[in-house]
Amino acid sequence: MQQTYQTKLAGLLAVLFLCAGCGDDGRPARYPVSGTLKSTDGSPLAHSTIMFRSVEGNLIARARVFPDASFQLTTFDKYDGAVAGTHRVQIMPFQNADGSFGIPLKRKYLKYDTSELEYEVSSEEDNQFDIVVELR
């Protein structure tokens, strides 16, 4: 009788342990991030990619900028957002067939460390960023 009770208890604990992780993808929590990317004259900077790199975890969330200047970040799954915390930002314009960039973006925006763009992604507030950058 004691043996049966211990076996059932061990089985129940194993099931509870396995179910404890159900529904969690095992990756850091992400929070929706969207926004717009425009030049100082108000023109949308479509045909580019914007990337947010978390300062702490070094995870990168990225998005294509659409013709209306809007973007939604993706870290792992489409539009899942970015991890909470401080992020440095870089912008990569799409290249033309001749190797030139389609947008005359200042070079400083091509690297995280020189762009001077830094944003805080919150786990509790709306993460809508309207980003304005200078062209050459």
Of 1-10, 13-22, 101-110, which one has max mean pLDDT?
Answer: 101-110
In the chain, count of helices (H) and strands (E)? 1, 7
Task: Name the residue type at position 81.
Answer: G
Give the separation between CA 108 and CA 89, rounded to whole angstroms. 11
Measured at the alpha carbon of residue 74, what is the angle toward residues 38 and 39, in degrees to the nearest 5?
Answer: 5
Predicted confidence (pLDDT) per residue in 103-133, tens digit? 889 999 999 999 999 999 999 999 999 999 9
**What pLDDT shows up at residue 97?**
79
Q: Is the pLDDT of residue 29 over 80?
A: yes
Of 17-26, 57-66, 89-98, give the lowest mean pLDDT range: 17-26
**What pLDDT shows up at residue 8?**
54
Ordered by start, the domain boundaries in the chain are 34-133
In CATH, what number does 34-133 get? 2.60.40
Is the whole-model pTM more than 0.75? Answer: yes
Q: Is the pLDDT of residue 18 over 50?
A: no
Average pLDDT over residues 81-106: 90
